[in-house]
Every structure is written in C-alpha cells, then in structure tokens.
Structure 1
Amino acid sequence: MTAFGEWTLVHGLPAFSYTMDQERDPRASWDPILDPPTRRHVVHLGNRRITLVADNYGRFDLFDEHTGLRWLTRETGVATAGGLSTAGSTTERLFGPAFAVVRVADERVRLERTVLCPEGEQPWVLIRLRVRNLTDEPVRLPLTEEWQSRPADVRLISGPAPAPDPGLELELIGGERTRAGRLTIPLDVEPGGERTVELRYGLLGEDAQEIGGTEESLAGLAARLPRAHAGQAPEAEREVPWHAALLTGGACADGVLGGHTLDQGSCYSFRHGFNGAARDPLQHALPLVYTEPDLALSVLRNTCAWGSPDGDLPYALGPDKSPWTDLFRPSDQNLWALWLAAEYLAATGDVAAFGADVPFHPVHDAPPVPLGEHLRRQFRFFADVVGRGDHGHVRILNADWNDLAISRSGAPAEDMVERGESVLNSAMAAWVLPRYAALAERLGDHATGKEARGLGATLRDLVAGEWTGRWFRRAYGPGVVVGEDDLWLEVQPWAILCGAATPDRARELLTTIEATAAAGSPLGARVRWPALPGGKAGDGAVWYAINMTLIWAAAEHAPELGWSWWRRMSLASHAAAYPEVWEGTLSGPDAYLPPEAARPGRTWDLADLGVAMQAYPVANLHAHAQPLLAYLRLLGVVPDGSGRLHVGGGASFGSRALTVTPDGHGRLAATGHVELITPSGSVSGAGPLTW
C-alpha cells in the first residue's frame, strides 16, 4: 500500500490499482519545478513502436519516436455510455504492464474501458469497451469513444510546440473508420447482459492486416514477460516482469536509422527533446540479451548507426534524430557498444549478426559496413582518439559517465578537457576490452583481439595502483588528484569487477561503502561521500546505473550485501520509504535525492539552466533496466574474457531466452555455438542447451 493505491494481479500480470482521489487528497499535488504544480500522475506503457501515457484522470497521451520526438495526443481519450464518463478523479483506475483500465458505474450500467498497446510494432492502441446492464430492464444508450489529436514536436530544451496533424484515425474494428476522433455506437443491452466493443486509435494508415483482439494481445504479453522468484528478495516476483514490460515498452522502431531506439525517456525525451547519451540505449539493452535478444541486437545496430565512419558516437540525437555534439563529448561511449556486442554474442552465439551491414548516420553520406566493422572502428576510436593521458589512464575529454566530473574535479575545466584522465573509464575498459577481444577473435580479427586484451590488462594494473587504503581514486588532472580524500562511488565497482582489487580488498571496499555512501539511505548508495551540500544537480544522489554495478560487484564477494542493495533499488523500497511520492511507485527517474536532501526520494534539478529531471520524474528506462540486469548478475549470469557465459543460481529467472533455477539448473535458447560455465560444469553447443 502507498498513498496512491496498491499492487494486484490482472490476467496473471502485475498491475497497480490507483485509489487516490487526487482532487481531495492534498498529497496528490507535486511540483515539477519548471512547470506549475500539478495533481496529474502518469505511467508510460508501450510496445515496440507506440508509447501510451496513462494518467490518474482516466485520460491518455500517445507518443511516437519513429521519425522524431513527437506527442500525437495530450490528455485525451474518453469513453461515455449514456451519462457515464471514464474521465474523472474517483473512477476505478488500474495500470497494467502494457494497458490501463478505467471502470465507472451508476445505478443503470457499468462501463469498463481498457486501452492496450498491442504486441508488436503497431503504431496504434487497442480499446475495449464493456457495458454491463445492472438492471432488470433492457437498456438502450449511445456508447461513444472520443480522442482529440493534439500533436506537438518536442523542441530541444524548450519543450513541446504545436506540430502538423499526423493523421490519427479511430476505427471500430470491423466497421467505420474516421479521422474526426469520435465514434458513437448505439447499444441495446439485455437485463443483466453485457456488450463488448473493440476499436483502435492511432496511425492506422493503409493498414489492412488482420487485427487480433485484446485477449490475444494480453496472452502474448503474459507469454513474453520473464518470471522470477527469490527468497532473498520477494519483490522480484512482481517487479521483474513489471520492469521488463516497461523497459521494452520504451522501444520504438526507428524510421530514420533502422533498428529500435531505447532511449532514457523521462525529462530528456519527453520534455527536453533529446535522446542521449548514446551509452544509455546500449546499457538499457543489456538485460534484453536474456529476455528478448532480437531487440537487444536491434538496439545495438541502431545506436551504432548514430555514429560516423571513424567510430565516433555523438553524445546524443536531437529531436529530429540529427547528431547533437554541442554539450558533452564523453570518453566512455564506445565501451558500451563493445560491451553489449560481447554480451550478446556470448549469450546467443549469433556470429552471423556481425556480418550484416549497418549504416552510419545519414549526415555522413557513407556506405554501410558490417556490424563487426562498426565495432572495430569504435575500438580504434577509443584506443587512438580518446587515448590515454600522462598517467596512462583513459582521457576524460569533457565528461566520462559523470557529466559533472569536470566541474567537480577542482581543476580548471580547460585543463581537465585537455589533459584530464578518468580512472573510472580505465576500470570499465579493463573489464570490457577482454570481452570485446573474445568477440574480435571469434570474428577472425586476432590482431584487434590481441591489442584489446593487452590494453585491458594494462589498464587493470594501473587501476590497481589507485588504491588509497580505503577506496580507489577517481580521476587525474594537471596538478589534481580526484578522489583521494572522498569516495566517488562510480569507480569502485568497476575496480572490483575488472580484477584490480583482490578478493579481500573487494570485501573490505564493499563493507566501507555500506558504512559510508550507503549508510542510512533506503534507496541505495550515494554517488559521492561525503556528499556535497545541496544535491540539486545530483551530488550525493542515488543513481540506478551505479547501484547496478555495485550490486554486481557484491554478487561474487558479498552476496548478502548484493541482495540487500537490490532490495533497496526496488519499487517496494521506495514506496515504503516515501509512500506519498509518485515517482518510484511504478517508475522513476535516473537518480533519487538522498534522505538528507531538501526533497528526499524525489530527483535532481538544474532549474537555473532550464533542465530538471524533476520536471518529468518517471519513465526513465534506467529505473527498469538496471534492476533487471542487477538481478541477473546476482544469479551469476555474466560473460567472461574468453567469450564464455557464466550462469549460477540461488534464485529463479525464466524467459523465452534463459531459464535459471535456484539449484543451478537451466536452459539457454542460443541460436549459434556458445560455451557455458554452470554449477554442473562446462556445457557447449548450438541451439537450446540445458544443464
């Protein structure tokens, strides 16, 4: 239970029953900071093309990213049956993993409206209206479904602005179609009887395919979502399928670059108008390797297509999908592509995928090359252009993972950009590069594999030398050492994962983090300790992406801490700590402010720069991807530097791609030859493998 309602099951799927009367309950009001206070609470649902935004008033938005960032409708979509309307503050509202239900009744009839994103890539929603006669007499009434097209293109930073009519249509399935957005069906309902009407709304175009109904789509959804059970974290049974649904619901078939985009969403896409950074879709796709590997590959191909022929990836894409390089030039982007590619190959054995052509961004007017060549060029860009600094660490450029690393370093920004070095990126590269080396070797590029493996080993040894006696240093600049006297969390897990810490040192460091950065924080470890005062820009905030690597690092060396930190990452933990905060109930931002902040349990803002996560604090895909990947790592699912996939146990996970049981048995639906390291020993081969 929270102030907003409680979890339940619908069609065997997790769903949330929203019971708050937002007009009367003062806890409903919240402040987006960049916009006026509001009582509207939303959740984002979707398929592989359309995003449905359902709210607590029974209204909906539709968002489409196929050719650009565009709202198709805003706060619309209402059904009426006689005098009943599904729009209001006291109707029964239910949010499911790809659908929303509104129920309302009077003394004569009961109206139930389900709006569903159908399975697949359809750019429209299914609508099912059920009218039940509650009386002993026949009832005749008009049943009306109405939407209003309110298109708006999201402009960079400045937000939505009116856009041309996208051509939305409403269709009674098997009957009338209209662009007016309103259809009325006369109904006669027998005493105690029920009538069902199904419609669809969206970009119907010339689509004449046979349309499956709501029940068929719900059955497909239930079959697609993974299942989980963990005695160490009972929340997993509900949250793993929920996160998987909202993560994949953020995907969109890309009509410009091909493949599927899987951007962060939240304030970045929906209010500020950009898809960035490039690392984000790549890391969001990592857990999909084990649930929907075809989508993981599609996201990898799409993100590689952002780039240029020299292997550079832009920081972000603008609202029209053009490269946006004006703000940040981070030094870590290529590593995420190499990581996703290596993990995909280790889990699927799909060598053929790396021989298929992938384009470069159209602005470069360059011919496509195979995916494997994209990755080779990205490695070359990382090794030769990003390069290393005076201490041998990876150059920081004007940011690494942390956009504020330069400004918080204590060194002049110009000096850090020119000569700064990131121990974080050295540690991450020391883990990623051996895995990429295994991929390159399997593709026959032994020279690149040897170079990548050697560079990874060199960086690992350098990171090992950054131990201060309590933690690992964070960065170097001209005359500046960052992280000598304060703990920067983001580098610590990677130092453990890459092997720079001995097992004893790893356990010591994890214990230190629990006693410092994680102390007293119900949602996870702070990114900085001691935290800087204020925390408006995220100093000391609890970041999903960093707590994921922390849980992963603990999985081998201190699993009890890993499970404890996973539970703190859960929606259940946020609801228990902050039951009156909507963000964190069903979805969330990329980071939460810690308990000592002015707005604990909410998220960061840079209001003086016109940017705020708090302006759109839900539907950030880190809130869904990171718990999934962290859960898999706790089960020992991880690739090694030889290209093998390790799979453990201790809890259960089941999807169409991978099954793991608590006793270490399992099944992998590989498409090519793979090698597994399991509790039962090595298993190798092509096709479905069991152990």
Structure 2
Amino acid sequence: MLATLTEHWDVQPRLVNFEFGPSRGEIPQHLDTVVLEEIGGARVAGASEAVDEIPWHAAMLTGAACVDGVLGGHTLDQGSAYSFRHGFNGAARDPLQHALPLVYLEPDLALSVLRNTCAWGRKQPWTTQFRPSGPNLWALWLAAEYVLATGDHAALDQPVPYHPVRQADPVPLREHLRRQFRFVVDEVGLGEHGHVRILNADWNDLAIVESGVDKEWMVEHGESVLNSAMAAWVLPVYARIADPVTAAEARALATDLCARVANEWNGRWFRRAWGTGPIGDSDLWLEVQPWAILCGATDSDQAKDLLGTIDRTCRADSPLGARVRWPNPGPIWFSISVTLVWAAARISPDLAWDEWRRMSLRSHTAAYPDIWSGTLSGPDAYLPPESERPGETWAMPDMGVAMRAHPVANLHSHSQPLLAYLRLLGVEPGSTGPLPGGTFTGAAT
C-alpha cells in the first residue's frame, strides 16, 4: 500500500536574484549584500582553521537558538555555566551580540532574536545592584546591521510586544529602538567630561571593582570611554534606519563622542574611564582600544602605533589571543578579540588574521592539549599563560559564580569567531553607502 504525503504552500510572488557558485573575478558592485563562503579560497590560505571551524561554529550557533514560549521568537541563550549551572540568561547584550553573524547566515533568526530581546523592556528591578549602561547600544547595532544587510525596512514597522509583566501595548520595532536611543541619551546620559556614564557596568561587569574607585561614586558619576567609543560607531549606523529627527540627534551625539574619545589618547593608548580622575593612564585596558579605531578617533599613524603596542603587550606570548589588561594581565575574552580583529583588519591585516587564528579551537587544542574545554566548544574567556591555570577559564568563588563549572557551550566561543571572520572579509555596515561584501584586500597569510 502506497501513501502520499503532501504539503501545500502559498508563496507570494516576488523577484529574486539568486546567484550560486564560486566567484570568478570581482564581486558585482550592484549587489547590496554579498555573503561570501570562500572557505578554501586564496583569502584564507593562511587560516586553514576556517575550513572546519566556520561551518562548525555556524551549526553550533544556530542549533543553540531557543524558542521563547512567553515572548515569542527566539533567544540565543548564554549557555555554559550561566545557564546550565546558575539558570541565568539575563544579560541582554549577549543574545544581541550572538545574533550579529546570523544576519548573514540566518537573517530571519537574527530578527527573531532582536524582537525577542527588545520585548524584555526595562530591566526589573532597576536598582543599584545591576544597572548596566550599554545593552541598548547592542540592540541599535543589531537592528541597523540587519536592515542594512537585508534591506528589510518593513521589519521596522511590525509590532513587537513587551513582556506581559509590563502591561504595555505592542509598538513597532522602530519605536522600540527609538525608546532605547532615548534611554541612552536621557537616562544613562553623559557625565562631567561628556562621556556616556558607566552606571555600575558597561561591557565589563567588573570595571568598577577593577577601577579602584568607590562603587557608589562611580555608579552616580563615573564615565565610560568604552561606551563613548562604541556609541560613536553605533549611532551613525543606527541613524540610517531611524526617523529624521532621531537620526540627526544620533549623528550629532556620535560626532561629539568621537572627539571626546580622541582626547583620551595619552600618547600610548586610550584611557578607559573617568572616576575621581582618569582611569587607564598607567595600564592598558584593551576593550576600549579597538572601538577608538573603529569610531574614527585615531588617525592612521596613531592606529598603527596603538596596534603595535597591543601586539607587544596584550598579545605577547599568548597563544589564544590578546589579554584584556596589561601589565596586570587579564583573561582573553572572545567579545574583545572580535573587535580587535575587526579594527586591525583595516590597518594591519596580518595581525588581524593572526588574532583570528588564535581565537580558533585548533589553537586552543594545540596550546593546551590536556584541557578538554576549547576543543569542540568553549567558555566566554580563557585565562592567560601566566595564570595558575592557563588555558582554562575563570572562577569567582566569592560571588558563587564559576565558568569553570561548565566551560563549554558558551555562544561567544562560536558567534565571535564567525563575526570576526565576516569582518576580515570586509562585510560590515557603515554610516553611509551600501553594505560592502567581499571588499577586503589584505592577504590571509
């Protein structure tokens, strides 16, 4: 007996230009978006890790998407010890950051993650215990990159709900984003020196503790040069999808912040923050340096000098990539390595490709063959070679948190090598013009 299984599809007519196969010669300039898969091509001849690891990272990232039964859509769970040990998926910037490479791999999933994360709304409770100052910048970034890459401006007009606890009506995604911009401007705000305030954390959750400045003082008055540098890049890109009034304000603020970041150059690197005085004159905090390059706060010679300093200090004798601090060495964080690769790709391609290779699973396996994490998956950060447990990951027993307890399935170890790889190939949004694809001219060797 034969049975027939059928499925009926209603497909709306539309014009699709589909080209498949290896590129021969120049990439057509009329294409707004080009997704490159030259995994074995000349551009990556010196990064053979990409042949195996790019597809693997893509599979691990997309496979980790979780359906949200309350808000709808998907989240990209923080995984690792955060979720599987502590049951925590509360850092909004993480799913937003993980979704960035999906703009080019699974754009529908990237949009779903953006909508889901926007639905979280204001952190609750909004207390001094955890008042992060930067998550909204990640939402503006992902939204802009998605729209500029896909051309899906209609997504901005689709309603997005809030979490039921908010008891708020859905609003278009465009309005969600405008409110997040206003939150950055009106509630996070600027400090005495014109930088975006740090509150109790920017990207670095321990920045205030490590600054040595009184916590309560920093929460009320501290300023983050990192936030300013990131905003100086994000806001002009976001302005391209914003309403005219918001766009003009975003561009003006970005211009001012870029100039203020430029003024933080101390002759060797950029200061990290302002507390009761400047922070980061005597020690190099890596997280701000690539963003200073990306936002345009450096000239060409200054950027080359800065990358040379990073190479001689943060990257020296570190097989897994650049440490986040020097001379007091910090861990190696995927979130920061990706911006270093991106910034260096414009100026020092050899350094950029080398840093990407150090991010690879192959590099960890070669340097630390007896450590099981870092072979098929990894944590969000590794300890540097001079630590007591080089190549392993962090633990903070005083806070009851230990990445070491479940040091794999953290999506930073998969999403950030993917995003860095795309940036190496020249795929990135800009403040003007079409999104480029495949225009990177540096050698991979």
| TM-score calculated relative to the size of structure 2 | 0.89
Q: Is the 8 A contact 1:427 1:495 kept in 2?
A: yes
Structure-2 separation of matches of 1:464 and 1:649 = 28
Residue 471 of structure 1 corresponds to 269
1:361 aligns with 2:163: yes
1:650 to partner: Cα distance: 5.4
2:176 aligned to 350, 374, 387, which one? 374
Stretches of structure 2 lacking an aligned partner (at least 5 in a row): 8-35
Superposed CA offset, 1:60-85 (max 9, x none): xxxxxxxxxxxxxxxxxxxxxxxxxx
Q: Could you list the runs of 4 or more consecutive aligned residues of structure 1 that deviate by over 6 angstroms after TM superposition?
A: 323-326
Counterpart residue type for residue 228 of structure 1: I
2:18 corresponding residue in structure 1 = none
Deviations 1:302-361 (A, max 9, x none): 000011xxxx3x28xxxxxxx796742110010000000000011001011010000111
1:325-474 equivalences in 2 (<5 Å): 327-440=129-242, 445-474=243-272
Deviation at 1:209, TM superposition (A): 11
Distance across 2 between alignment mates of 1:616 and 1:280: 17
Distance change in 2, residues 1:291/1:330 (3 Å): same
1:499 aligns with 2:289: no
Question: Deviation of residue 642 (structure 1)?
Answer: 1.9
CA distance in 1, matches of 2:440, 2:155: 32
- Give the corresponding residue for 1:640: 430
More helix by share: 2
Of 317, 327, 330, 1:530 maps to: 327
CA contact (8 A) 1:431 1:497 kept: yes
Q: Secondary structure at the match of 1:406?
A: helix
> For residues 430 and 446 of structure 1, do their structure 2 counterparts lie closer, same or farther at Cα, with a shift above 3 Å needed?
same
Matches within 5 A, 1:180-579: 228-229=39-40, 230-307=44-121, 312=122, 314=123, 327-440=129-242, 445-477=243-275, 479-531=276-328, 540-579=330-369
* CA-to-aligned-CA distance 1:530-573 (integer Å, 9 cap, x gap): 125xxxxxxx1000000000000001110110000000000010
Residue identity in the other structure for 1:476: W
Q: Spell out the pairing of 1:28-177 with structure 2 (5 A cutoff).
A: none
Aligned counterparts of 1:450 and 1:609: Cα–Cα separation in 2: 43
How far did 1:447 drift?
Answer: 0.5
Q: CA deviation at 1:649?
A: 4.3
SS at match of 2:241: helix
Whole-Å Cα distance in 1 between the matches of residues 298 and 277 of structure 2? 23
Asked if 2 retains the 8 angstrom alpha-carbon contact of 1:574 and 1:585, the reply is yes
Larger radius of gyration: 1
* Partner Cα separation in structure 2 for residue 614 and residue 464 of structure 1: 38
Cα distance in 1 between the residues matched to 2:127 and 2:79: 19
Question: Aligned pair in 2 of structure 1 residues 612, 349: CA closer, same or farther (>3 Å)?
Answer: same
1:594 to 355, 374, 384: 384
Q: Contact 2:128–2:200 (CA<8 Å) still a contact in 1?
A: no
Q: What amino acid is the match of 2:93? A: R
Seen in structure 2, the aligned counterparts of structure 1 residues 209 and 255 have a Cα distance that, compared at 3 Å, is: farther
CA distance in 2, matches of 1:481, 1:468: 10
Structure 2 letter corresponding to 1:554: A
Q: CA deviation at 1:411?
A: 1.0
**Mapped partners of 2:198, 2:220: distance in 1:** 9
| Maintained 8 Å contact 2:236/2:250 | yes
Higher relative contact order (CA 8 A, sep 6+): 2
How far apart in 2 are the matches of 1:475 and 1:626? 25
Residue among 613, 621, 624 paired with 2:403:
613
Residues 326, 258 of structure 1: CA spacing in aligned structure 2 closer, same or farther, 3 A cutoff?
A: farther
Task: Say if 1:639 and 1:645, in contact at 8 Å, map to a contact too.
Answer: yes
1:606-685 matched pairs, under 5 angstroms: 606-642=396-432, 644-649=434-439
Q: Per-residue CA shift, 1:268-307, capped at 9, x if unaligned?
A: 1111111031000001000000111000000000000011
Distance 2:87 2:78 in 1: 11
* In 2: Cα distance, 1:258 partner to 1:325 partner: 27
Structure-2 residue corresponding to 1:193: none
Does the Cα contact within 8 Å between 1:268 and 1:276 map onto a contact in 2?
no
Conserved? CA contact 2:128–2:219, under 8 Å: no
Amino acid at match of 2:131: R
Flag the 1:404–1:371 CA change in 2: closer, same or farther, 3 A. Answer: same
Please give the alpha-carbon distance, in whole angstroms, between the structure 2 residues aligned to 1:255 and 1:564.
42
Do 2:80 and 2:410's aligned partners in 1 also have CA atoms closer than 8 Å? yes
Letter in 1 for 2:95: P
Code of the aligned partner of 1:489: L
State whether residues 439 and 643 of structure 1, in contact with CA within 8 Å, keep that contact through their aligned partners in structure 2. Answer: no
**Cα distance in 2, alignment partners of residues 461 and 429 from structure 1:** 12
Q: Secondary structure at the match of 1:252?
A: strand
- SS of structure 2 residue aligned to 1:407: helix
3-state SS, counterpart of residue 585 of structure 1:
coil
Q: Tell me if structure 2 keeps the 8 A contact 1:494–1:549.
A: yes
CA contact (8 A) 2:66 2:77 kept: no
5+ residue gaps in structure 1? 1-173, 175-207, 211-224, 316-322, 533-539, 653-661, 663-691
The offset of 1:637, in angstroms, is 0.5
Bigger proportion of residues as strand: 1
Instruction: Give the match for residue 370 of structure 2.
Output: 580
Counterparts of 1:569 and 1:334, CA distance in 2: 27
CA contact (8 A) 1:226 1:244 kept: no
- In the superposition, relative to structure 1, how do residues 324 and 238 fare at CA in structure 2: closer, same or farther (>3 Å)? farther
* Percent of residue pairs identical: 68
Residues 1:280 and 1:209: Cα distance change in structure 2 (over 3 Å): farther
The amino acid that maps onto 2:410 is: N
Whole-angstrom CA distance in 2 between matches of 1:433 and 1:427: 10
- Displacement of 1:378 after TM fit? 0.3
* Distance in 1 (alpha carbons) for counterparts of 2:237 and 2:427: 14
Q: Secondary structure of the equivalent of 1:261?
A: strand
- Which residue identity is paired with 1:393? H
Q: Give distance in 2, aligned partners of 1:456 and 1:331.
A: 16
The Cα shift of 1:589 comes to: 0.2
Q: CA deviation at 1:648?
A: 3.0
Corresponding pairs, count: 411
Q: Assess if the C-alpha contact under 8 Å between 1:358 and 1:370 holds in 2.
A: yes
Cα distance between partner residues in 2 of 1:365 and 1:591? 38
